[in-house]
């Protein structure tokens, strides 16, 4: 397997410029491309983005590693349609719920969930599903911008209680200006 180095144009932008461009309401939505810094990308990987929206992150990954298998699911039909329209890379987008992933067991090397976990109605179930579709040794990355202490406590509890995910929560230095971004990294 060949490692692929990150290239300049998809490197993470400083969160400050992201926030400026998108306005204050997006302050708690860290740039999903931040997860690229934590991924060991190489050709042949099978990657799933859960709650992929319009597929921004998957297209960035496709740009980095040409030959790989990329999938994105989201409950929002419009978002999936928009993701499919880009068609600049071969990525499979599907309308599906995180609580019921349409994939077989032990399939993916990586599952990513960026700025989406908060919106999942059944978070415990989503974790079970994420774990189910990961290969043994596969990695789950969950990126959340957390502005409210009550949600942070809830999320901590969900993660700690999950028999499936042992996590080490990390503070992301790049977003230190906000001090609200967490990347949960778990290995199956």
Ligand X SMILES: C[S@@+](CC[C@H](N)C(=O)[O-])C[C@H]1O[C@@H](n2cnc3c(N)ncnc32)[C@H](O)[C@@H]1O
Contact pattern for ligand X over residues 100 through 119, marking x by CB under 6 A: --------------xxx--x
Shortest distance, position 2 Cβ to ligand X, whole Å: 27
Q: Which of 48, 52, 58, 140 touches ligand X by CB under 6 A?
A: 52
Task: Give the nearer residue to ligand X in terms of CB position, either 79 or 133.
Answer: 79
Count of C-beta atoms within a 10 Å radius of residue 129: 23
Q: Which of 19, 32, 64, 172 touches ligand X by CB under 6 A?
A: 32
Q: Does 171 bind ligand X (CB under 6 A)?
A: no
Using the contact rule CB under 6 A, the part of the chain among 35-43, 52-60, 130-138, 150-158 near ligand X is: 52-60
Q: Which residues pair with 92 in a beta bridge?
A: 71
Task: Give the nearer residue to ligand X in terms of CB position, either 120 or 167.
Answer: 120
Q: Which of 65, 97, 131, 142 touches ligand X by CB under 6 A?
A: 97
Q: Does 93 bind ligand X (CB under 6 A)?
A: no
Q: Does 146 bind ligand X (CB under 6 A)?
A: no
Q: Find, among 85, 67, 79, 82, the residue nearest to 115 by Cα.
A: 79
- Footprint of ligand X (CB under 6 A): 32, 51-53, 56, 73-76, 79, 97-99, 114-116, 119-121
């Amino acid at each position: 397997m060949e490692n692929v180095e990150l290239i300049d144009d998809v490197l993470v932008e400083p969160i400050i410029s992201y926030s400026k461009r998108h306005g204050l309401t997006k302050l708690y939505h860290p740039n999903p491309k931040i997860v690229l810094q934590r991924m060991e990308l190489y050709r042949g990987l099978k990657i799933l983005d859960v709650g992929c929206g319009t597929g921004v992150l998957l297209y960035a990954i496709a740009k980095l590693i040409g030959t790989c298998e990329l999938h994105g699911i989201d409950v929002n039909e419009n978002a999936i349609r928009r993701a499919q329209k880009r068609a600049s890379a071969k990525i499979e987008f599907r309308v599906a719920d995180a609580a019921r992933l349409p994939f077989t067991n032990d399939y993916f090397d990586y599952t990513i969930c960026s700025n989406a976990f908060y919106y999942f109605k059944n978070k415990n179930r989503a974790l079970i599903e994420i774990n189910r579709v990961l290969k043994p040794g596969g990695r789950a990355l969950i990126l959340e911008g957390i502005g409210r202490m009550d949600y942070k406590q809830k999320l901590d509890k969900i993660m700690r209680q999950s028999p499936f995910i042992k996590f080490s929560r990390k503070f992301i230095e790049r977003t230190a200006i906000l001090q609200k971004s967490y990347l949960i990294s778990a290995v199956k």
